[in-house]
Amino acid sequence: MNTTPQSHAAPAYSADVMVVGAGPAGLFTVFELGLLGLSAVVVDALPKPGGQLAALYPDKPIYDVPALRQCTGHELVQRLLDQIQPFATQWALGQAVTAFAPLEGESTPGLQVQLGNALTHRVKALVIAAGVGAFAHRQLECPDLAPLRGLSVLTADAGLTPALEGRRVVVAGGDEVAIDTALAAQALGAASVHLLHRREALDATDDALGRLAATPSVVRLIGQITQAQRQGDALKGLCISRAGQADVWHQADVLIECLGLLPQLGPLAEWGLAMHKKQIRVSPEHMATSVANVYAVGDMAHYPGKRKLIVSAFHEATLAAYAVAERVLGGAVPFEYTTASARLQARLGVVKA
Q: Provide the CATH number for the domain around residue 179.
A: 3.50.50.60
Residues 179 and 219 in one domain: yes
For residue 49, being part of any structural domain is answered with: yes
Could you say which of 259, 281, 312 is where a domain stops?
259
Ranges of the chain with pLDDT below 50: 1-11
| Statement to judge: residues 248 and 322 lie in one domain | no
How far, CA to CA in Å, does 315 sit from each of 177, 307, 324?
33, 11, 14
Residue 8 lies in a domain: no
Same domain, 57 and 89: yes
Question: Considering its fold, how many domains does the chain have in total?
Answer: 2
Q: What pLDDT does residue 133 have?
A: 63
Are 114 and 34 contained in the same domain? yes
Average pLDDT, the chain: 89
The Cα 62–Cα 64 span in angstroms is 6
What is the domain extent for residue 194?
A: 139-259
Same domain for 105 and 162? no
User: Is 147 in the same domain as 251?
Assistant: yes
The reply to whether 99 falls in a domain is yes
1 occurs within a structural domain: no
d(CA 275, CA 283): 12
In one letter, which amino acid is 164? L
Same domain, 147 and 87: no
Do the domain assignments include residue 5? no
| Total residue count of the chain as it appears in this document | 353
- pLDDT tens string 37-80: 999 999 998 888 998 888 777 888 999 999 999 999 999 999 99
Residues 144 and 250 in one domain: yes
* Contact assessment for residue 115 and residue 97, using Cβ atoms and an 8 Å cutoff: yes
List strand residue ranges (DSSP E) for 138-191, in order. 153-155, 168-172
CA–CA dist 31, 102 (Å, integer):
25
Within a domain: 115: yes
Q: Is residue 23 part of a domain?
A: yes
Q: Which of 228, 259, 290 is the endpoint of a domain? A: 259
Residue 222 sits in the same domain as residue 303: no
Task: Compute the C-alpha angle 84/87/88, nearest 5°.
Answer: 120
Residue type at 213? A
- In angstroms, the CA 52 to CA 24 distance is 9
Residues 219, 309, single domain; the answer is: no
Q: Is 269 domain-assigned?
A: yes
Q: In 10 A of CB 141, how many CB atoms?
A: 9
Distance from C-alpha of 23 to C-alpha of 93, rounded to nearest angstrom? 12
8-state DSSP, 196: E
Please tell me the predicted confidence (pLDDT) of residue 9.
40
Reduced to 3 states (helix: H, G, I; strand: E, B; else coil), residue 143 is helix
Same domain, 279 and 335: yes
Residue where a domain stops, chosen among 259, 284, 310:
259
Claim to verify: residue 210 and residue 301 sit in the same structural domain: no
Task: Give pTM, 2 decimals.
Answer: 0.75
